[in-house]
Amino acid sequence: MTWMKRFAADSPIAFSFLTTVLLWLCYIAAGVAAPLLGTTAAGQQTGSAVGRLVAALIFLGLLWWLGWLRAAGITELGTWRSWLLVLPVLAYEVLAHLYAFFGSLALGVPESPLGRAVALNGAAAGLLEELAFRALLLYALTRLWADSRHGILKSVLISSSFFGSAHLLHLTLGRPVPLVLLLFVSAFLGGIYYAAFVLHSGSVWPAVVLHVVLNAVVGAQAVGNPQFAETVSGWLLVLALQLPVVVLGMVLILRVQPRPIVPAAA
């Protein structure tokens, strides 16, 4: 345990890279295991969701092994003020994505098995990514650099960059390069305000709820709309609509009070 903490302290960028690689491996393993629960599209989505939930448990176990559960915001729920801040952002994000991708603010409930499976898979991805990037990776950086606002901002930007880079794995699925690059930028921007909510609330759960619900809603809506197709213009609109939340996130980050760093061997 001590050697892992020392590695995270001595080589934070390498630790961040290995965290991202571990997430990639978890995604690949979940994809390989998905057909075990069925050959239908719904069965494979459910299998992938189960794999991602197992991977989330692995990251929770790693946080427990390092003794970081409380410090990383796993055991804290956040204040009511932090939830009052996040819930309107959640509503805005859902409506913004619905409008950008589907041209409508109508929110449909998934009625088909495939729609429900896609929603579950998206939710599992959101949980896994928050545990990896906002609980494990962000805390690993802020425990070293949170003694200044510059260090806090650096931690956020680096964690967001790795979060965005994790989405480049979509290139292996055959998605067009321009769309994947826009997804990378969108994830980077989202990582800024996800991190802001974690640092502001002292809990990872507001960011988890935001990420989980957004993934589930957009995924289920896409399945429920047979004529839906990703477009560059849709992603550009998403990016434009994200900017107000990015500004809010930056304001919150700049208001976070610096704190003493954790000794490398602690």
Distance CA(188)–CA(178), nearest Å, equals: 15
The predicted-structure confidence for 154-163, as pLDDT tens digits, reads as follows 999 999 999 9
Asked, for residue 184, whether it belongs to a domain, the answer is yes
Distance CA(197)–CA(73), nearest Å, equals: 11
Which structural domain, as residue segments, surrounds residue 125? 2-255
Asked, for residue 139, whether it belongs to a domain, the answer is yes
pLDDT value of residue 125? 95
Asked, for residue 18, whether it belongs to a domain, the answer is yes
* Single-letter code of the amino acid located at 151: G
Lowest mean pLDDT, pick from 25-29, 187-191, 249-253? 25-29
**Which range has the top average pLDDT, 3-17, 162-176, 181-195?**
181-195
| Number of domains forming the structure of the chain | 1
The predicted-structure confidence for 225-243, as pLDDT tens digits, reads as follows 777 888 999 999 999 999 9
pLDDT value of residue 265? 41
Task: Grade residue 1 by pLDDT with cuts at 50, 70 and 90.
Answer: low
Cβ–Cβ < 8 Å for 113, 44: no
Task: Grade residue 30 by pLDDT with cuts at 50, 70 and 90.
Answer: confident
Query: What value does the mean pLDDT take over residues 132-143?
Result: 96
Distance CA(103)–CA(152), nearest Å, equals: 37
Q: Is the pLDDT of residue 73 over 50?
A: yes
Please provide the average confidence, as pLDDT, over all residues in the chain: 90
Asked, for residue 263, whether it belongs to a domain, the answer is no
* Single-letter code of the amino acid located at 56: A
Q: Is the pLDDT of residue 165 over 90?
A: yes
Asked, for residue 262, whether it belongs to a domain, the answer is no
From the list 171, 146, 169, the residue with the least C-alpha distance to 156 is: 146
Asked, for residue 218, whether it belongs to a domain, the answer is yes
Asked, for residue 266, whether it belongs to a domain, the answer is no
Distance CA(72)–CA(126), nearest Å, equals: 17
Distance CA(67)–CA(74), nearest Å, equals: 11
Q: HSE of 178 in the Cβ direction (CA atoms, 13 Å)?
A: 7
The reported pTM is: 0.93
What are the two backbone dihedrals, phi and then psi, of residue 178, each rounded to the nearest 5 degrees? -60, -40
Q: Residue 156's Cα: distance from chain center in Å?
A: 13
Q: Is the pLDDT of residue 92 over 90?
A: yes
Cβ burial, residue 47 (10 Å; 0-12/13-18/19+)? buried
Lowest mean pLDDT, pick from 20-34, 121-135, 177-191? 20-34
Asked, for residue 264, whether it belongs to a domain, the answer is no
Query: What value does the mean pLDDT take over residues 60-71?
Result: 94
